[in-house]
Amino acid sequence: MAAAKGAEDVDISTLSLEDPEVSVRFSVKFDSTFGQRVILSGPAERLGNYDPSKAVALDYEHPSRWCQTVKFRLPLALAAPAGDCAAAATDFAEDGNGTVLEYKFAIVDDRDGGSTTWELGAARTLALAPGAAAESPTLPIAPLVVAQAEFRSASDLPRDVFCSSAFTDVVFRREPADRVSAAVRSARDASAVAAAMVAGHGAMAVRFVVFAPRVVAGDTVCVAGDHAALGGGTVAAAVPLDDTELPYWTGTVALPPGTTDFAYHFVIRRPASGGGGDVERVVSEAPYSRRFSLLEGDVAAVRGVGGGHTAIVSPPSDLSFVYPRPWKGSGVAVPVFSLRSPSGCGVGEFVDLEAMVDLCVASGWQMLQLLPVNDTTAYGDYRDSYPYSAVSSFALHPQYIHLPSVAQLQGDLAAEYEAEAARLNALPEIDYVDVMAVKMRFLCRLYASEKEEVLQSRAFLDWFGANQGWAVPYALFRFLAHINGSCEFDGWGARAAMTPAEMEALAAPDTFHFDHIGLALFTQFHLHRQLQAASAYASRHSVVFKGDLPIGVNRYCADTWQHPELFRLRMQAGAPPDFFSTAGQNWLFPTYDWTAMAADGYGWWRTRLGHMATYFHAYRIDHILGFFRIWEIPHSFLTGMAGRFRPVHGIPKAELEALGLWDMDRYTRPYVREGFLYDAFGGRGGEVKDRFFVHLFHDRLGFRPEFDTERKLAAALRPEEAGADGAFIKDVRKELVKLLNNVVLLADVEEEGVYHPRFGLERTSSFAELPSEEWKGALRRLYHDYFFVRQEALWRSSGLAKLPVIQAASKMMVCGEDLGMIPACVPDVLDETSIMGLRVQRMPEGDIEFGTPAKYPYATVCTTSSHDTSTLRAWWEEQDHSAKARYWSGIMRRSDAPPPTATGALVRAVVEDHLVSPSMWTVLPLQDWLGMDEALRRPVATEEQINDPGDPHHIWRFRLHLSVRALLEKKALTAQWAGMSTKAGRGPPY
């Protein structure tokens, strides 16, 4: 092997604590083959700054073991009272608590020109001073550190998930006051090092680090071994580790000279119930299942430490406690707006979430999943009820504010509010427009009476200081939309675009219109306090708040107004034709300009997720496939049929011609024959032909220029204005839109001479009536290649460019809605980026009818239904008898006849089947939990569905038919729910 680049021979015997240097012997296990070598690099000059050509090369010392010793110069301040630390600045990162070395290993393969493959997972950290950062094995200063490791060739998604705030701050939270402090931990480490020094030449201090996230308060992780220093096999004498750096447990043990090999394992113990200092084992790994061993080079290095010092050896810090079974949790999904409370005002409010947390605790659920809660007030009508069309990715929706918590209502104002709240609460569904009118009316009055005190308070000023980057543009957007009568900022004249300085001046407190700005800020401040209080309440009760990250934003919103350069405003995001909609979906959101977003490291996304983490411990990425490729629809279309994926490798005209496909006019022009119109409209076919078409040749027709786009047709055909002929006009519009999309190829709207296969082209009459079987065969092969082969590498790189940044932007647990037409690269990318997938039984992966919960992967969230589907009860009643029979026998493994209706017993059986699945989380809509109680659930199953994605004009107004407090009183039901989760092994830590 070649000499190590950057390595230095170290005369360890000459080192002293007065000489601020430390030698680190890196030892990594990797089963290499001839032609492979291992390198080490990191963001330090000594380690090559992650440049493989400047990295440290490791030597092959032993089968499967690569080693190298590197000398680092510590900051002088760590070893002497004063000194110039500049020399060490390139070697270490100062984290405020200590000196941390960051690094990763990589494999260089000389067989293919020196390609470099970095190990998976986060960068490793080695802390070489007391008080180190989290997840770092903390090592007191020593002249030699032996850092053992195993090359990470596979991702460790469960580890990353358990490192998220959902677990560290909620499910397995330990109060800071009950944890070992950094000072105590450092003193213990120093004591162990001192004991090793006293033991004599060749002794060492072994630093154990184990990842053990599932430890309840009061329990302690210990290391036990067959060596006397590790208890000699007695659990009571095992060495307790410190929980300073949760979810990692650390501890240093002095071992006498001559120790080179011993067996050990980890155990979790707690004080015995009888007291008296006794302990009991709670859960243990297999006894002596781990092995500590030193190579000859390690032994020589340890023995080489002289001058009254000792070496510190750190076994692999990737070690994870081996539990007897994987942890699993359960939860409930419910939109905030659907909650019902006697103290509310016609809609669910943030303060109602505390009662939902209580319901979770009583029902044995560890997660409360919500829909988006951002402000969507763009148009001032029922369109604003759509929670996925935000006018700000940061601002919260005013409908969720609890007015009595803003300020105490007095006298006539209180009576007026109570009357309005009682009226709105009596409605079976949400009247969105009425609720918003009432809440804004009272907010204006509360603002007038409270603004002086609130806007000058320290709490408000602190909030404003942390949020003004988005809050000022948002407040101005609301104000300008109000005075212009529209949120469509294209028509705001000089205010259509503003610089930050102009925004600051326009929002100044001394302007005559400031109360419009102040009201928006006042409202957001109180919404923040109410949601934050609910989130803190959930954390204290070990319930994870899971939010929802919409894939898009409203075309006219504060984000697109403030940062137009980040969006493709002439394009629209949507979905191709699918289970939900045969015409596809057009969400009307602009697509993202990912190139512009990448220029500053996706700063908008990082800021957005950092803000979201203020309230949530986990989140669902809506339509995560959009981070790989988005279905992009040109502005002239209203449906999703004429979309194409972006990014995408289009098909050049030369490639088509090489396949014998030369007639671009035939492939791209809407294929309309005169007979189509008479088939569709009978005797009125001639009327439709004369108004909308021109004759081309034979019986072929072409659309008139004034009707040749979907938007033009929509403008010309308004059923609501057609009186008695409205139904016919509606049918005409629907049929003509289908004919506009009756093509087999789409010309790219931005790149001339490039084409895309029309999605589902074989189902069109244009394809069916192609005159050549050769053309049909070529198009079939091209279609398969385009959608399932040629894009995979592009989409993989697209996902990997964005998702690691998204995942690392916060400590929240990340789940992805990976449903629909899933590229083959998606599962691997989600695994590599530690993002959990979603499983919905009626929308399975592959060519099968139903998903089988028993076969779901562990790193998934499984559910019976979602806000975009019918509930479990309604779905069952939609199925014909044969489908029910296949499900009942094939999935539920039952030999009797399936129930014709969704009885409570059937719902319970299906829920239990999901609970016992291997998925880490089973999170079901509240309607499906309620479905097993025939006396409590709604009489009509179809009334339980939240959204109809096939209806672009759907109004989101679903509301629970009983209050959360009323549910809490159903103790037999909540006990039943809790028992079902416990029986399925969901909830218990061990």
**pLDDT, tens digit (0-9, with 9 covering 90-100), for 727-762:** 999 999 999 999 999 999 999 999 999 999 999 999
pLDDT in tens, 250-273: 999 999 999 999 999 999 999 887
For residue 448, the tally of other CB atoms under 10 A from its CB is 11
DSSP-derived secondary structure for 508-569:
-TTSTTHHHHHHHHHHHHHHHHHHHHHHHHHHHTT-EEEEEE-S---SSSHHHHH-GGGEEE
What is the structure's pLDDT at 820? Answer: 83
pLDDT at residue 11 tops 70: no
Q: Tell whether the model's pLDDT for residue 641 goes beyond 90.
A: yes
Task: Give the pLDDT score at 141.
Answer: 62
Could you give the domains of the chain? 12-155 (2.60.40.10), 176-314 (2.60.40.10), 342-544 (3.20.20.80), 563-634+794-835 (no CATH), 635-788 (no CATH), 838-959 (no CATH)
Task: Identify the DSSP state of 168.
Answer: I
The pLDDT value given to residue 129: 53
User: What percent of the chain clears pLDDT 90, i.e. is strictly above it?
Assistant: 81
Looking at residue 2, its pLDDT comes to: 36
Structure tokens at 938: 């709604």
Q: Is the peptide bond before 335 cis (omega within 30 degrees of 0)?
A: no
Residue 490 has pLDDT above 60, yes or no: yes
Question: Phi-psi category of 50—alpha, beta or left, where left has phi over 0 and alpha has psi -120 to 50?
Answer: left
200 φψ region: left (φ > 0), alpha (ψ -120 to 50), beta (else): left
Grade residue 21 by pLDDT with cuts at 50, 70 and 90.
confident
Note the pLDDT tens digit of each residue in 295-346. 999 999 999 888 778 899 988 877 899 999 999 999 999 999 999 999 999 9
Q: Which long-range contacts (CB under 8 A, 24 or more apart) does 756-763 make?
A: 756/644, 756/648, 756/650, 756/651, 756/786, 757/651, 757/782, 757/783, 757/786, 757/787, 758/641, 758/642, 759/576, 759/577, 759/584, 759/641, 759/643, 759/787, 760/576, 760/577
Q: What pLDDT score was predicted for residue 531?
A: 98
Question: Hey, what amino acid is at 637?
Answer: F
Top-confidence residue, 134 or 26: 26
Token pair 């001394």: residue: 510
Distances (CA, A) of 939 to 431, 636, 931, 976, 977: 22, 44, 10, 21, 21
**DSSP code for 167:** I
Mean pLDDT value of segment 56-62:
94
pLDDT at 8: 35
pLDDT digits (tens, 9 = 90+) for 172-222: 999 988 899 988 988 898 899 999 999 988 999 999 999 999 999 889 999
- Tally Cβ neighbours within 10 Å of residue 672: 23
Give the Cα separation of 412 and 691 in Å (integer). Answer: 61
Average pLDDT for residues 800-826, to the nearest whole number?
Answer: 94
Is 67 in contact with 141 (CB distance < 8 Å)?
Answer: no
895-927: pLDDT as tens digits: 999 999 999 999 999 999 999 999 999 999 999
Range among 10-24, 354-368, 405-419 rated most confident: 354-368
β pairing state of 279-284 and 261-271: antiparallel
499 φ/ψ sector (left φ>0, alpha ψ -120 to 50, else beta) = beta
Provide the pLDDT for residue 153.
87
What are residue 585's phi and psi, to 5 degrees? -130, 140
Mean pLDDT of 507-535: 97
pLDDT-based confidence at residue 91 (cuts at 50, 70, 90): low
For residue 143, name the pLDDT band (cuts at 50, 70, 90).
Answer: confident
Rounded to two decimals, the pTM is 0.90
